[in-house]
Structure 1
């Protein structure tokens, strides 16, 4: 189905963007995660993932604002929608913890 192809392209685009992502986990973030456990780990992990997803949205928005390739713009729109949905879900999980 067309949805399957869209999902693959969104994930492929996300993978490419990971290397250039402005919001990457620092060594301090990794140490904090390693030292954390249980609910503290969950909260740290979700907080870091929300920031990471916001970085993907920022990059995708830049593509929409400045990009020339219509297929890249479609992928950017799909990434924004998917990442925002995941942020909403993770924020709800954080509130529940």
Structure 2
């Protein structure tokens, strides 16, 4: 299955659970795309959060670069995050047909 996981929360626990779910699904050969937007910006910008560390492990699970819906990321994020996330220029709604399931956190 192709699964899109949209993360907009500023809760460390919820973002951790969402990324952990992505890792688990990828382990079972699902194609998973993470999309960060909204208040999740604060979780990724904070180097003390679990999500900050987990986003650096996408390659270990054969996950593609995460998408981000915020332009200011190049100013606020360090290279460890920027190496694993790309700005999504466009409307995420235009991509929804590519996914079998969309999960929102």
TM-score > 0.5 by shorter chain: no
TM value normalised by structure 2:
0.28
TM value normalised by structure 1:
0.29
The structure that has the greater radius of gyration is 1
More strand by proportion, 1 or 2? 2
